[in-house]
């Protein structure tokens, strides 16, 4: 087999940035001209993160093929500039689900089904499936979620231990990410947690080849020697991953340490230098903005920034594209009312209402949207944000006072956002998920769908294309019954499904930049290539700020 496998495990504690480290290594190998893919193995029992609370788990990242995945896949896409699929993320839940289904079908021919070999075989087959391609990647990086020592992670570690002997020692590499804390009182970097973590790995038969140390400050040479000695790795196989200001600096820092070179040597990959010109330019541009804008993100999950990971990244990319620093102000929608909206949102040059579920905080979002609409402040509504914009407009411009979404009040006369029954039934049927309890996972419109853009609209101008593809994750849709009356009042339907049956993008005629989309454009934004809608939104915020400074907001053009 041509593909080399790199396994990335983590020790000491979580949140050390294993996903970013894996993605950055991937970016470096790609910059050396290799083809790279990355897979995340998550030890939790959920079949996918689709039903998990973003407060706890962070964003659910959606792929083109409609898989609801871990947010690390977002990093993989952004660092590799390549789309991921359902193959790139798997969980204990998904693995057990399949093994149990096979057992019920009798596939195991009466054998006792056990963690070893049945669960581990299933894990291995999913890892190997990455290379099962007419054009297999040169390198597959496998990130194992959780921390070494977790009970639920054991089958995964056992599977990679076995894979190494099966695939040949030279074709696999184990990288272990640990923490080297700096103890202020002792004035020292401490290696003991790393030693313990490696000991834990060794006890299950895995010898790391490379130790990557997350630390506040660079590791001096004698400490590297010490870590190498105690952890039984080459002295030049201990690397540091120091804290950075901008996450896109990580590949450059790794490069400076010679990380990719060591990996290439150990895996006998062609000796080539990584071309990192565009990464350098990105960091340079990001570090030298020519101005700044402040964007309010009005949402429910404002306490946990991870819940809006891709959104945050997309706005940063748009800032670089516009050469401005984007300051994000997370505003809790539950705190906003019609009366205090102007105060709560004072100083913001753009207002963004992101996706979400459930009624909580909706009235605050609607108040924020009204404020944006009436004061010509650039507005960007994503998924639920677009739905709220439709509700706001229906209530306050079209006079449908009780306008709402079926999600919030199934009995309203004016459900401008509703559940498209045919769609729901079709999905439920297709997925053979008709039972009540499974109705929450699996009946959403998920993944990439085409959308046709209307000429002479903000959307069409931004994309400069007639048909686009964007990723969805929602149940409810715009209710076409209200299309005519809203259009009459100045709503513009600038994006629709090609057959015209689903509204995908709305705008307002009487506003310089007001746009809502039913899909999630943030998933497709790239550091080197900002998403057109985010790019134009930030540009509009820039213009608004300038007009405000000149006292000329009234003169800002309309769409």
Give me 352's structure tokens. 């963004």
Marked catalytic residue, from 176, 371, 474, 520: 520
- Decide if residue 383 touches ligand GLN (CB under 6 A): yes
- Decide if residue 473 touches ligand GLN (CB under 6 A): yes
Marked catalytic residue, from 172, 231, 383, 517: 383
- Decide if residue 95 touches ligand GLN (CB under 6 A): no
CB of 55 to ligand GLN, least distance (A): 15
H-helix or E-strand spanning residue 166: helix 154-167
CB of 52 to ligand GLN, least distance (A): 14
Whichever of 40 and 365 has its CB closer to ligand GLN, that residue is 365
In this structure, is the dihedral angle defined by the CA atoms of residues 360, 490, 543 and 372, taken in order, positive or negative?
A: negative
Q: Among the candidate windows 41-49, 126-134, 311-319, 350-358, which touches ligand GLN by CB under 6 A?
A: 350-358
The site that binds ligand GLN (CB under 6 A) totals a number of residues, namely: 10
As a whole number of angstroms, the distance between CA 63 and CA 522 comes to 12
As a whole number of angstroms, the distance between CA 292 and CA 274 comes to 32
Q: Which of 460, 474, 511, 545 binds ligand GLN (CB under 6 A)?
A: 474
CB of 77 to ligand GLN, least distance (A): 18
Strand 503-508 relative to strand 36-42: parallel, antiparallel, unpaired? unpaired
Residue 527: phi and psi, rounded to 5, are -55, -40
- Decide if residue 357 touches ligand GLN (CB under 6 A): yes
- Where in 34-63 is the site for ligand GLN (CB under 6 A)? none
Q: Among the candidate windows 48-56, 129-137, 338-346, 354-362, which touches ligand GLN by CB under 6 A?
A: 354-362
- Of the candidates 295, 305, 269, 373, the one whose C-alpha atom is nearest the C-alpha of residue 537 is 295
Beta bridge partners of 517: 382, 505
CB of 475 to ligand GLN, least distance (A): 4
Binding pattern for the stretch 399-418 against ligand GLN, x by CB under 6 A and - elsewhere: --------x-----------
Whichever of 128 and 304 has its CB closer to ligand GLN, that residue is 304
Q: Among the candidate windows 124-132, 344-352, 353-361, 547-555, which touches ligand GLN by CB under 6 A?
A: 353-361
Within 13 Å, how many C-alpha atoms sit on residue 158's CB side? 16
Whichever of 142 and 416 has its CB closer to ligand GLN, that residue is 416
Contact 69, 89 (CB under 8 A): yes
- Decide if residue 475 touches ligand GLN (CB under 6 A): yes
Whichever of 122 and 477 has its CB closer to ligand GLN, that residue is 477
Q: Among the candidate windows 45-53, 70-78, 187-195, 468-476, which touches ligand GLN by CB under 6 A?
A: 468-476
As a whole number of angstroms, the distance between CA 43 and CA 85 comes to 19
DSSP 406-425: TTT-TT-S-EEEEE-HHHHH
Whichever of 512 and 521 has its CB closer to ligand GLN, that residue is 521
- Decide if residue 355 touches ligand GLN (CB under 6 A): yes
Q: Is 520 exposed, middle or buried (0-12, 13-18, 19+ CB in 10 A)?
A: buried
As a whole number of angstroms, the distance between CA 128 and CA 110 comes to 26
280: left (phi over 0), alpha (psi -120 to 50) or beta: alpha
Give me 219's structure tokens. 């590791």
Whichever of 210 and 383 has its CB closer to ligand GLN, that residue is 383
CB of 310 to ligand GLN, least distance (A): 12
Active site residue 196: no
Contact 474, 420 (CB under 8 A): no
Whichever of 57 and 473 has its CB closer to ligand GLN, that residue is 473
Strand 491-496 relative to strand 445-453: parallel, antiparallel, unpaired? antiparallel
CB of 505 to ligand GLN, least distance (A): 14
- Decide if residue 476 touches ligand GLN (CB under 6 A): yes
As a whole number of angstroms, the distance between CA 534 and CA 222 comes to 47
Helix (H/G/I), strand (E/B), else coil: 63: coil
As a whole number of angstroms, the distance between CA 206 and CA 231 comes to 12
- In eight-state DSSP terms, residue 111 is P
- Of the candidates 95, 253, 237, 99, the one whose C-alpha atom is nearest the C-alpha of residue 175 is 237
Beta bridge partners of 330: 297
Active site residue 383: yes
Active site residue 522: yes
Q: Which of 26, 49, 356, 516 binds ligand GLN (CB under 6 A)?
A: 356
Q: Among the candidate windows 132-140, 232-240, 281-289, 349-357, which touches ligand GLN by CB under 6 A?
A: 349-357
- Decide if residue 309 touches ligand GLN (CB under 6 A): no
Q: Is 23 exposed, middle or buried (0-12, 13-18, 19+ CB in 10 A)?
A: buried
CB of 382 to ligand GLN, least distance (A): 7
Binding residues vs ligand GLN (CB under 6 A): 355-357, 383-384, 407, 473-476
- Just list the catalytic residues: 383, 520, 522
């Amino acid at each position: 087999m041509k593909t080399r496998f790199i396994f990335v495990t983590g020790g000491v504690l979580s949140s050390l940035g294993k996903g970013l480290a894996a993605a950055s290594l991937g970016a470096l190998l790609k910059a050396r001209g290799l083809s790279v893919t990355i897979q995340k193995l998550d030890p939790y029992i959920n079949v996918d993160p689709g039903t998990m609370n973003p407060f706890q788990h962070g964003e659910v990242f959606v792929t083109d093929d409609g898989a609801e995945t871990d947010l690390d896949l977002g990093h993989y896409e952004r660092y590799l500039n390549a789309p991921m699929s359902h193959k790139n993320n798997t969980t204990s839940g998904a693995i057990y689900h399949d093994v149990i289904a096979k057992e019920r079908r009798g596939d195991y021919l009466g054998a006792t089904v056990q963690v070893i070999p049945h669960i581990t075989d299933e894990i291995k087959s999913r890892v190997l499936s990455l290379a099962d391609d007419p054009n297999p990647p040169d390198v597959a990086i496998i990130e194992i979620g959780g921390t070494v020592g977790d009970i639920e992670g054991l089958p995964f570690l056992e599977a990679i231990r076995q894979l190494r002997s099966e695939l040949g020692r030279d074709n696999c590499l184990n990288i272990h990410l640990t923490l080297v804390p700096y103890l202020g009182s002792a004035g020292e970097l401490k290696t003991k947690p790393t030693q313990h973590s490696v000991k834990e790995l060794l006890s299950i038969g895995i010898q790391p080849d490379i130790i990557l140390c997350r630390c506040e400050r660079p590791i001096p040479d004698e400490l590297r020697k010490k870590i190498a000695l105690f952890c039984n790795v080459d002295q030049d196989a201990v690397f540091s991953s120091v804290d950075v200001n901008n996450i896109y600096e990580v590949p450059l820092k790794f490069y400076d340490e010679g990380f990719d070179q060591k990996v290439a040597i150990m895996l006998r990959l062609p000796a080539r230098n990584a071309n990192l010109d565009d990464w350098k330019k990105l960091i340079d541009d990001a570090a030298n903005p020519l101005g700044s804008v402040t964007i309010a993100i009005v949402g429910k999950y404002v306490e946990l920034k991870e819940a809006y990971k891709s959104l945050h990244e997309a706005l940063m990319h748009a800032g670089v594209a516009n050469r401005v620093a984007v300051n994000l102000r997370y505003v809790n929608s539950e705190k906003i009312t019609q009366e205090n909206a102007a105060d709560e949102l004072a100083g913001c040059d753009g207002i963004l209402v992101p996706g979400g579920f459930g009624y909580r905080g909706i009235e605050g979002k609607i108040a924020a949207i009204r404020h944006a609409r009436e004061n010509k402040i650039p507005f960007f509504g994503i998924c639920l944000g677009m739905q709220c914009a439709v509700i706001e407009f229906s209530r306050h411009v079209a006079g449908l006072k009780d306008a709402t979404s079926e999600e919030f009040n199934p009995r309203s006369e004016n459900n401008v956002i509703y559940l498209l029954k045919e769609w729901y039934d079709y999905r439920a049927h297709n997925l053979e998920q008709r039972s009540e309890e499974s109705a929450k996972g699996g009946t959403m419109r998920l993944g990439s769908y085409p959308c046709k853009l209307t000429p002479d609209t903000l959307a069409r101008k931004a994309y400069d294309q007639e048909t686009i593809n964007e990723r969805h994750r929602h149940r409810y849709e715009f209710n076409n019954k209200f299309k005519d009356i809203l259009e009459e009042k100045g709503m513009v339907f600038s994006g629709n499904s090609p057959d015209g049956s689903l509204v995908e993008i709305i705008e307002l005629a009487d506003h310089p930049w007001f746009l809502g989309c039913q899909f999630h454009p943030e998933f497709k934004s790239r550091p080197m290539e900002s998403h057109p809608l985010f790019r134009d939104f930030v540009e509009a915020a820039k213009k608004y700020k300038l007009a405000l400074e000149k006292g000329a907001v009234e003169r800002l053009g309309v769409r």
